[in-house]
Amino acid sequence: MVLYCSSCAHAGRMVPPFPATFSPSSYQDSKEHKHTTVASMQGWLGVFTFTGSETYWDYVIEPLASGCLRVDGPNNKTFTVVASRQVGITHRSGRYYAPADAVKLVWPVNSSKVHPYPVPTTLLNSGGCAQCGAHVLY
């Protein structure tokens, strides 16, 4: 695992470009449904709660623009951005767990599987940027 702050990730051109025209894959459509509706599912689930004009796909742009980058293996990237407010809620085995005030964006090698999900900052870890040593949350 290698961590980069937003500045170093952008300076090193490690942030993938967002396509000018975007059409979600069926996998991405299923992730959007999973992370925007409350369902009784086993395990962890982060659900976005939209309080304004934002949409599910806005949470792809924000982490790319200003999030910290974690690289796991060849080209498996996760961007994390701490929000300035609550963006969702988390559930564990179908029960409310905690408010979510951060967003993780999974960017695997297969770009048709890119998707964001909300997480509570209490579940984030910290480390140092591999380039400049800046504090990084992931």
Looking at residue 105, what is its pLDDT? 92
The whole-model pTM stands at 0.83
Compute the distance between CA of residue 51 and CA of residue 18 in angstroms, rounded to an integer.
25
Looking at residue 39, what is its pLDDT? 65
Q: Which of 137, 43, 22, 56 is nearest to 91 (CA)?
A: 43
Looking at residue 72, what is its pLDDT? 92
Segments of the chain scoring below 50 in pLDDT: none
Compute the distance between CA of residue 88 and CA of residue 50 in angstroms, rounded to an integer.
8
Compute the distance between CA of residue 138 and CA of residue 7 in angstroms, rounded to an integer.
15
CA triple 81-48-45, angle to 5 deg:
90
| Two structure tokens written together for 126 | 């910290």
Q: Do 69 and 4 form a contact (C-beta atoms < 8 A)? A: yes
Alpha helices in 3-57 (DSSP H): 6-11, 26-34
